[in-house]
A and B are shown apart, each in its own frame.
Chain A
């Protein structure tokens, strides 16, 4: 599914994306994430509360093979990435809130992701290399820290790094469509419908639940749309990185199916949702 060359390329891409993410952060952001209970609570519940539960529910209902189930679980436990910020920007949502949620979720991810994974893997009786996942998350902190250091040293280098990180996030999806899809065409044609259902539903249901949740909190429609996108859109490259770095090469390919398919479909779903939101936002103005 994923060749060694692609693995290497992915590793480099992840490195640059994480470097870019680091360049968008300051140490203060981490302290703030803990100090702002309200924003934190919303981000926390929608991203780490609902999404993993949606993942678990999908696995329980559709009963896919173990690798698909593990891929789903990992994908569901990811924070949002720069893609969600981009779609929020396009949908004329609350960019500040989107960035705050991404930053909070990513900062807390180091602790929360392994905890969630252990808990849900036990519930579903799945075997996951927990130690490796923790090690990977810590390893990924290196480029993040480096990015933060770059920004601190020189704001221009930081901003340029951040730009390339974000641009590569977009390129990652193009890369998937252009190289991965054609070469795995036969495989994609034979993939079980349940796998497709999971890949599509995870993001779609996430966006709907996030929206209803925000509505329930009586948030401004502007913010509700932002939270919807932020909840449903997960950090696909991060999931792939965790899988590639944590599982033995012989096991990882089938696990990457869900993150890869999810990343493809979330772009289509988000584009549709963004157009819908954009119309709603513009109508209001």
Chain B
């Protein structure tokens, strides 16, 4: 890795490509082991062509939005880097969104072009009812995979999964778009460098939508500087990442800001080989990647680590080259973190961040990892806790986490009210309740809005979930506060059992041993699974829906 930090995302891609030229950059690995690889210079050339296509063929302007709705595959870096090089704004769209969720986001971001995987294209007619995207570029999960495996994958998708249907919309294929760009201009590299010279580092690079777990989506405007700063800060926090050649596993979807900044940008800059998993569920889909590639690092969320440590094949042969793993996106449960470290014999470092903060704010240092804490603030990052009136609290006090740093977004896209509400005296308010300890480690206690008030006491659902998760035989647990007829909040636990013989009484008895009286769930509901976001976050708002929807069958 070159030590001088790149001054734009376009330059980050170019300098990594010059440095690591013919080494593999991205490898997409399907559940059966079929794969395709792009080298650093191929990614550079293809994304140049895509940038030219956007600017010269489609005649888009800098600042025009280009949406990308693609699962992890080789098209993703080509499209994302191409958009950066074209100085357009990347809008990451969750591939699993329903057409009405897509419609909301399209209406808000008004993209001029969309790169979409064919498997999701059937949602387009409905998704475009409020905003018609003039240019649709269609790609496929098997893009850039060698001929014969690609044909087999297409065959299986068409006739076995029936996942690929004809695209009910005028469109161009990604490979044809790239070809058109090459036809239009041979000197793509110098043209793209010309686009880059006009870049303002404070220009928005990415509209990253958030609010999936809370409600109406808002687009966080992340600038080139935000993302570049966060890449450098993250690399600085864990210097050992740069010490050897890394082979990393990307099972989290790249549209998610954590995977985007850390897996995609940081490790591209380091020259790592990035193994992309289009669909990590069921988890056996990951087996071939672990067998075929010497994975040295991976990122995940609590649900992924929990699930993997419960898979027989994973327990039998944990990845032996794994140096450490990184957890983000949701709170890690201590029991899960410890089991992961025991199974893989390697540390699991928890970090903390939000979509609005590009995302990383704090990280555990490799040699001073503290399970239960999300680590220490990154360089140039200030973290404090504030009370309900916005007053800064002393070290050790619990309050809302507020942050400052170069990675904090410019604001929400076309939403000055929300922007104003989330900043106070230059501090960005995270909406998380936390506490800094004497050594500067941050402990996240819960989402502010998830806190349950029981007879005036604050009950943090995460604490109860952690307690339940340590009981042997409990696979997963989620806790929410439910209002009863007297408008009092009742602590309600949703539990997925691994050992089906466990009873409500035995769970309550266990809680009584470990929790103060008012924290003990009043109600325990057994379920076969919990509602989760595509990243694997447990959706507490959907748990509320389960309780209120009358059609729910009794479990």
Contact = CB atoms under 8 A, between A and B. Distances in A.
B160 to A, nearest CB: 10
A28 B33 contact: no
B240 interface: no
**SS of A interface (majority):** helix
Contacts of A284: 528
A162 interface: yes
Contact of B284 (A39, A95, A155, A160): A95
Interface stretch (B163-171, B296-304, B312-320): B312-320
A32 B317 contact: yes
A32 B316 contact: yes
Contacts of A173: none
Contacts of A36: 312, 316
Interface string B278-301: 000010100110011000000000
Contacts of A95: 282, 284
A100 B528 CA distance: 24
B148 interface: yes
Contact of A26 (B282, B291, B311): B291
B32 A162 contact: yes
B393 interface: no
Contacts of B282: 95
B312 A156 contact: no
B194 interface: no
A156 B311 contact: no
B146 interface: yes
Interface string B13-38: 00000000000000001101111100
Contact of A162 (B33, B287, B317): B33
A28 B291 contact: yes
B389 to A, nearest CB: 49
A262 to B, nearest CB: 26
A159 B316 contact: no
A35 interface: yes
B34 A159 contact: yes
B152 interface: yes
A240 to B, nearest CB: 26
A159 B284 contact: no
B447 to A, nearest CB: 30
Interface string A155-171: 11011101100000000
Contact of A155 (B35, B311, B528): B35
A96 B32 contact: no
Contacts of B149: 156, 159-160
Contact of B32 (A28, A100, A159): A159
A160 B148 contact: yes
A225 interface: no
A125 interface: no
**SS of B interface (majority):** mixed
B292 A160 contact: no
A156 B34 contact: yes
Contacts of A285: 528
A28 B282 CA distance: 22
A162 B32 CA distance: 9
Contacts of B35: 155-156, 159
A28 B291 CA distance: 9
Interface residues of B, number: 25
A39 B33 contact: no
Contacts of A96: 284, 287, 311-313
Contacts of B146: 156
Contacts of A35: 316
A100 B312 CA distance: 9
Given A28-B317, A32-B317, A35-B316, A160 B528 contact: no
Nearest to B150: A156
A159 B153 CA distance: 11
A159 B292 CA distance: 11
A180 B145 CA distance: 39
Contacts of B32: 159, 162-163
A285 B553 CA distance: 11
Contacts of B288: 155, 159
Nearest to B30: A159
Given A96-B312, A100-B312, A156-B146, A163 B291 contact: no
Kindly name the residue among B30, B34, B35, B36 whose own CB sees the greatest number of chain A CB atoms within 10 A. Answer: B34
A22 to B, nearest CB: 13
A160 B311 contact: no
A105 to B, nearest CB: 16
A100 B317 CA distance: 13
Interface in A144-193: 151, 155-156, 158-160, 162-163
B210 to A, nearest CB: 31
Interface in B126-151: 145-146, 148-149
Interface in A18-59: 26, 28, 32, 35-36, 39
Interface in A252-285: 284-285
A26 B289 CA distance: 13
A151 B33 contact: yes
A236 B130 CA distance: 57
24 contacts: A36-B316, A39-B312, A95-B284, A96-B284, A96-B287, A96-B312, A100-B312, A155-B33, A155-B35, A155-B288, A156-B35, A156-B145, A156-B148, A156-B149, A158-B33, A159-B32, A159-B33, A159-B149, A159-B288, A160-B148, A160-B152, A162-B32, A162-B33, A163-B32
Given A36-B316, A100-B312, A155-B29, 15 more contacts: A28-B291, A95-B282, A155-B33, A155-B292, A156-B35, A156-B36, A156-B145, A156-B146, A156-B148, A156-B149, A158-B33, A159-B35, A160-B152, A162-B32, A163-B152
> Which 4 A-B pairs have CB atoms at the shortest separation, nearest pair first?
A159-B33, A159-B34, A155-B292, A96-B284
